[in-house]
Amino acid sequence: MSDIDKQNPKIEPAQWSVVAIVVAFAAGAFLYKLFMHERLGHSAAMFLGIPAVLAILLALAPKAKTATGGILKGITLALLVVAPLLGEGYLCILFASPLFYIVGIGVGLAMDKSRRKQGATLSCVALLLLPMCLEGVVPQLTFNRAQSVEVRSVVAAPADEVEHALTQGPNVTTPLPLALRIGFPRPLGAWGEGLAVGDTRTIHFAGAEGDPPGDLVMRVTERHPGYARFETVSDQSKLTQWVRWTSSEVEWTALDKGHTAVTWRIDFMRQLDPAWYFTPWERAAVKEAAAYLIDADATPVRRY
């Protein structure tokens, strides 16, 4: 190395890559704080916009063997660094991580094609991603949030015993299924009983991500033989990060002296965007909740 090189050492490509990762992390952190401040934490701007910015900044770093490989390494590092700092918020990282990789692969492939002079450019990808990132931000680009799921199960008990079990109110002692134990707020207690119109149910949920515990309150608004409908009075639980319960219906029909068909239907509002990605996740989680309600609240043998 010459004296001039010693006095003015060049920054190696690997060092520029580290700089690019640091800049990408800083940009992602800034956008995260901005979106949370502007109450856009549930929008596609959060779940598509941030990974798009990360991917584009990483793609503009000095050439690696492939832009796609460099982006995926950077995104993986970002997720590994950020996830442990979020506490219960790791659930959002877990569910959203495929989106980060999908966007990163899309940007990386476009960059690799551009390097091979096949016409694809980052500007084309950015134009494609822009309207997708505005879902949940711009009302005209927001899809219908109303969802409904239904679960039917056969309970090994007479219909009158199933009805009696339902009148006892919420039971939170039955173990939650694995899918609902991976980070969702857990019910800590519950009170309220009866199936007459006006009777209420209150479920006290644990807090998460630094937020305090909160209650979901529902009231019986319709009742006739073999049927009860509950509507939400208020919901201060952390569950509103993902879904907002609007109503819950339960029907039970005797099949024979010892078996009853129970159907539990839950109506809710999807809270996360984009719809094409989060709707299946939320519907699956709520279906698990409906099955749990049948098991916990409509199955007499579990309550005595």
SS3 letters across the chain:
CCHHHHHCCCCCHHHHHHHHHHHHHHHHHHHHHHHHHCCCCCCHHHHHHHHHHHHHHHHCCCCCCCHHHHHHHHHHHHHHHHHHHHHHHHHHHHHHHHHHHHHHHHHHHHHHHHHCCCCCCHHHHHHHHHHHHCECCEHHHCCCCEEEEEEEEEECCCHHHHHHHHHCCCCCCCCCCHHHCCCCCCEEEEECCCCCCCCEEEEEECCCCCCCCEEEEEEEEEEECCEEEEEEEEECCHHHHCEEEEEEEEEEEEEECCEEEEEEEEEEEECCCCHHHHHHHHHHHHHHHHHHHHHHHCCHHHCC
pLDDT band at 303 (very low <50, low <70, confident <90, very high): very low
| Phi, psi (rounded to 5 degrees) for 180 | -100, 5
Distance of CA 64 to the CA centre of its chain: 33
Mean pLDDT of 1-19: 53
Q: Using the predicted structure, report yes or no on whether residue 247 has a pLDDT greater than 90.
A: yes
Mean pLDDT of 5-18: 53
Assigned token pair, 194: 């009866």
Higher-confidence residue of 288 and 64: namely 288
* pLDDT tens string 159-195: 999 999 999 988 888 888 887 877 678 899 999 999 9
pLDDT at 157: 94
Q: What's the whole-model pTM score?
A: 0.70
Assigned token pair, 249: 């219906």
pLDDT band at 293 (very low <50, low <70, confident <90, very high): very high
What whole-number distance in Å separates Cα of residue 137 and Cα of residue 130? 11
pLDDT at 118: 55
pLDDT at 140: 74
Query: Percentage of the chain surpassing pLDDT 70?
Result: 65
What whole-number distance in Å separates Cα of residue 240 and Cα of residue 248? 16
pLDDT at 271: 87
Amino acid at 56: I
Mean pLDDT of 284-290: 93
Mean pLDDT of 189-208: 91
Q: Using the predicted structure, report yes or no on whether residue 304 has a pLDDT greater than 60.
A: no
Mean pLDDT of 208-236: 91
In Å, what is the CA distance from 5 to each residue of 9, 11, 176, 210? 5, 11, 64, 52
Mean pLDDT of the chain: 79
What contacts 17, CB < 8 A, 6 or more positions away? 61, 62, 64, 70
Distance of CA 101 to the CA centre of its chain: 16
Higher-confidence residue of 27 and 60: namely 27
* pLDDT tens string 119-146: 555 566 666 666 767 777 777 777 888 9
